[in-house]
Amino acid sequence: MSANSRIRMIVGLGNPGPEYEDTRHNAGFWLVDLLAQRHGGAFRSERKFNAVTANSRIEGVEVLLLKPQTFMNRSGQAVQAASSYLKVPVEEILVVHDDLDLQPGDARLKLGGGHGGHNGLRDLVAHLGAGFWRLRLGIGHPGNRAEVIDYVLKRPSREDESLIRNAVAEAADVIPIMLGRGEQPAMHRLHTRAAATPSKAGDAKPTVPE
C-alpha cells in the first residue's frame, strides 16, 4: 500500500429526514456534514444514486462525500450505484457509521470485517462485499438487545451527544492525515487519542451482539 490513502469516496450512514437528524443512527451523516463544512463541499441531490453528494478536496485529494437517501437498511443500493457509475473500487471507499460496541466518545478505523448486526453495513456487505474501510463512531449500547432499535433511533442524552460529537470532530481531524499520509498514521493518531481519553463514568454497558 502506498503512503497516501487511495480513498476516493467517503460514505456517511444515516436516515434521511429531519425527524432522524439528531438520532444516534445518524452519526455517520454528522461526520460527512462536518467534512463538507471544513473542506468546501456543497451537498446536492443525485437521483441516479438515490443519494446526496458533495465534492471536496482534502489534502489535495478529490473525494466524493455521499449520504444515501434510501434509509439505513438499503444503504448498499445507493453506494453500489455510485461506486459502479464512478468506477470506485470497494477498497477506495470509507464508510462512517454508528457503532453499538464502542462507547460514546470513542472512534476506530479499520479495513474490512463483518456487519456486526448493523443494518446499513449488512446491506453494504451484501452489495459490495466486505472490503471497504470503516470509521466506527461509538454510541454505546442500551444493555438490552430488545431496546436497540428504539435506542439508535432516538437522540442521545446531552452528555452522550457531546461525547459523540467530540469524537466526530476528532475523527474529521484524522481524515486529512489518512488522505495525505496513509491509513496507518491515521489509525495511530485516532486510536492513540482514544486510549488517552478517560472512559465515561459508569460506561461498562454490556456488549450484546445484534
Q: Which residues are catalytic?
A: 25
Please list, in sequence order, all residues whose beta carbon lies within 8 angstroms of the beta carbon of residue 173, skipping any fewer than 6 positions away: none
C-alpha cell at 143: 444493555
| Residue 7 DSSP class | -
Are 22 and 79 a contacting pair, CB within 8 Å? Answer: no
Q: In what order do the strands lie in the sheet with 93-99?
A: 44-46, 51-58, 61-68, 9-12, 93-99, 133-138, 107-111
Residue 201 has pLDDT above 50, yes or no: no
* Sole residue written with cell 476516493: 8
Higher pLDDT, 203 or 178: 178
Please list the alpha-helical segments (H only) found in 119-157.
119-128, 148-152
pLDDT in tens, 104-114: 999 999 998 88
pLDDT in tens, 122-149: 999 999 999 999 999 999 999 999 999 9
* Sole residue written with cell 448498499: 76
pLDDT at 113: 86
pLDDT in tens, 48-64: 999 999 999 999 999 99
What domains does the chain contain, in order, with CATH numbers? 9-196 (3.40.50.1470)
Cα–chain-centroid distance for residue 173?
14
